[in-house]
A and B are shown apart, each in its own frame.
Chain A
């Protein structure tokens, strides 16, 4: 029987030991190798884990054998235990150290297009020859190539702080649009008190969500989940066809106020990604921008997403979703509640794997109903609804007795998913 997995603690110990045997031992060296060699993977874990800690993210990856959802969960669980020591000042995107920024909306932009480190225009060919070289030859070759690569600037690694960073400021494309009267001016208000900004990790998420919570949720969302919903939008389940206004990757200075002197000082730099998409909308179709003189005017609307670490796919898809969620009658899969509830990596993956837990009590309760319905119909001369025993289980698609109120039988009421 299934509860053969009983035996409690010793079973748990053995299962974990087998897992460790399979994944193999790791040490600080392994962790640092991961941190150096797989910066994009580390960034993804940090973004979804909503904790900027490259070494801990690499540790989580090593410990989980590279299982992303496990690694993100470990990082989030660690985050739960950390005290909040201070609030950082908001990062001004126009002053971040840009390594890459592109706009699809204009051929050229103030400050220029900066391609920076990317594989976008590379040929995605596996470098099979790497496998053929013996380790010694490889070492030598790497040493001799090191110089060349630095000149090329094509190394995708994030040592780019040295080679790729440009220290001049790049004005935001959106700021140019604001000055040109294409986008509404931002309301001038003092920088909000950080402690007053709603925080999705400290307060429950209710809908409609404050914008801060929406952007925070997208920022820590599952890359694959945001991509899936964003892609559905891009394919046409949304009325908008946005253009990438600007994607910007770089390093942001994190500043906090000294607790005693109140002077600002930097506690370090973090990698960040910021994406903005833009589309033209009828003014009357958007609540806030409604014009008094009818629906003939068009205006531009922005969608925005940002995250810690460098992750272009998530931020572009997230910015499209941000825009789609604000439309008056979004596709059901692009409503705020749908998007934010279904893209959390920890919640979605956790619930998915929880189906492995025994459910024999709920299933027993379900069988009781199935049998008694069959009995009631037989007594009433209506025949046995379920026919033979084999059909009994296979004939119940979509039944799930943990969902309160869901029927246990496949037909009928409006409850079907």
Chain B
């Protein structure tokens, strides 16, 4: 019969908690979630890599050094137009052009739309306020997301034709905010 409870290793624990942070970030969009502290020497992006990537999926990252580190999780490296997970440590004008190419899924398989993991500044008091509404939000919620060009929000609005679209996580210093494709985001 089954043996005793298997050990809940640190690797197991942080992978699970990182996933839970993503799950709740997506369930309650626009709310800032705390990520678990990792005893391994890894940043937020690597932590998400740990939670999401393995040889059965694919990723894209324009940043060479991060891409090389993410490769350790064994996922297939693909072009931005065909990767399931797109890691953008910085969302500048060049990265914006990449965003415009990500997978949006098909009507038969909208879940093939990409997941974006985007670096941002959640502490910038002068950052524009994004007003969010939609599933997971009781009425409205507001969140400031710095270091993301305003043009991103317009691009996102144009690209998402629900149920087609992409889902995004904004990451900064151990915190994450989710923007599933269902979230209506307006710049205040």
Contacts and interface: CB of A to CB of B under 8 A. Distances in A.
- Asked whether any CB of A lies within 8 Å of a CB of B in the complex, the reply is yes
Nearest to A84: B55
Interface in A171-207: 195, 202-203, 206
Interface string B153-166: 00000000000000
B137 to A, nearest CB: 28
Interface string B54-72: 0110000000000000000
Contacts of A203: 56
Contacts of B55: 195
Interface in A202-259: 202-203, 206
Nearest to B56: A202
Interface in B56-107: 56
Nearest to B108: A206
B48 to A, nearest CB: 21
A195 B109 CA distance: 23
Contacts of A202: 56
Contacts of B56: 202-203
A203 B56 CA distance: 9
Interface in B121-139: none
A160 B56 CA distance: 40
Contacts of A206: 109
A202 B57 CA distance: 11
Contacts of A195: 55
Contacts of B109: 206
A195 B74 CA distance: 12
A170 B56 CA distance: 37
A268 to B, nearest CB: 24
A223 to B, nearest CB: 28
A184 B55 CA distance: 35
Nearest to B55: A195
A202 B109 CA distance: 17
Interface string B103-118: 0000001000000000
Nearest to B109: A206
A56 to B, nearest CB: 15
A203 B109 CA distance: 14
Nearest to B74: A195
A202 B56 CA distance: 8
Nearest to A195: B55
A206 B109 CA distance: 10
A202 B55 CA distance: 11
A212 to B, nearest CB: 15
4 contacts: A195-B55, A202-B56, A203-B56, A206-B109
